[in-house]
Structure 1
Amino acid sequence: MAGILIIAHAPLATALRECIAHIYGGCPARIGALDVLPDSDPVEVVQQANAEIERLREENGALVLTDMFGATPSNIAARLATLPQVRVLAGVNLPMLVRAVCYRATPLDMLVEKALTGAGKGVQLIGPAVPPPQNECGCAPAPCGEAVTSKTNPTGA
């Protein structure tokens, strides 16, 4: 079963691990969180991350999830990607993490695919994006002049 390490801007890593504990009624084994504070020394955090990977890594490796590509936490996580049997994904969200926890027993590369699928499927539009504008009377507004012109004169002349 793969270990999972979340490295993110504080307090996101810990909050995501706490969400998993809430969902599962307790935190599953081998899930770590490393919050990167604004004044954290990146060298120290890399050392902590390496120690966490060694503690969490299982027979099929470890998955590192980080929040935003290019930011300090992901730059720290990227250093772990060179380790054997370690994969790093940026853009962590709760659906990605839940999916990763569910598929921890699969081979590491399949786990990566499942986590990425969970991340994408977890992003959904709920309801209308913007409520339609209305006039004071509650009616929909009249179309703008350009819309009326384009309907009556398709060439725009």
Structure 2
Amino acid sequence: MIGIMVVAHFNLAQEMAAAVELIVGKQEQFEAVGIFPEEDIEKIRGKIIQALKMVDSGDGVLILTDMFGGTPSNISLSFLEEGKIELVSGVNLPMLIKLASYREGKTLDELARFITDYGQKNIYLAQDVLKTRKKD
């Protein structure tokens, strides 16, 4: 099974992981890494390496970060390895919930591409949704 890591600023990763567990239950090979301003690059890299070891069973690891260009993404990018470690930025809760039921039997590339598309499609402007419902 593909391992999942969420790497984000402060406690965002841990809180998203807690929400996933509350909604769909405890996840195997799923780790959250929080990045804090007082940590130097080597400490952050060490935390990411430790989490990678915990989630990698040989099928690859998908790292999801909060925003492209931020420290979590920038440091995580140094771990990219084709077919083994992939990164998707802009993580949201619907993406993580979907990953809970969708990562079996997929290649890392298939999963990364699917979840990127899924995340983008699960962002809504409330007034547009409500207008559509009023028409029905």
Q: TM-score range by the shorter chain?
A: 0.7 to 0.9
CA contact (8 A) 2:83 2:108 kept: no
**2:52 maps to 1:53:** yes
What is residue 97 of structure 1 aligned with on the other side?
96
Normalising by structure 2, we get a TM-score of 0.86
What is residue 41 of structure 1 aligned with on the other side?
40
Alpha-carbon distance in structure 2 between the residues aligned to 1:4 and 1:62: 6
Percent of aligned pairs with the same amino acid: 31
What is residue 20 of structure 1 aligned with on the other side?
20
String of CA shifts for 1:4-50, please: whole Å, max 9, x gaps: 011000111001101110111x3211110000012111211111201
Alpha-carbon distance in structure 2 between the residues aligned to 1:83 and 1:35: 24
What is residue 11 of structure 1 aligned with on the other side?
11
Alpha-carbon distance in structure 1 between the residues aligned to 2:81 and 2:59: 16
CA positional deviation for 1:97: 1.5
CA contact (8 A) 2:63 2:87 kept: yes
1:77 counterpart letter in structure 2:
S
More helix by share: 2
Runs (4+) of structure 1 moved beyond 3 Å?
none
What is residue 80 of structure 1 aligned with on the other side?
79
RMSD: 1.7
CA positional deviation for 1:55: 1.5
Alpha-carbon distance in structure 1 between the residues aligned to 2:78 and 2:93: 23
What is residue 65 of structure 1 aligned with on the other side?
64
Normalising by structure 1, we get a TM-score of 0.75
CA contact (8 A) 1:9 1:67 kept: yes
2:5 counterpart letter in structure 1:
L
Alpha-carbon distance in structure 2 between the residues aligned to 1:121 and 1:84: 25
CA contact (8 A) 1:100 1:114 kept: no
Bigger CA radius of gyration: 1
CA contact (8 A) 1:74 1:90 kept: yes
1:89 counterpart letter in structure 2:
V
Structure with higher RCO (Cα < 8 A, 6+ apart): 2
String of CA shifts for 1:129-151, please: whole Å, max 9, x gaps: xxxxxxxxxxxxxxxxxxxxxxx
Structure 1: runs of 5+ lacking an equivalent: 129-157
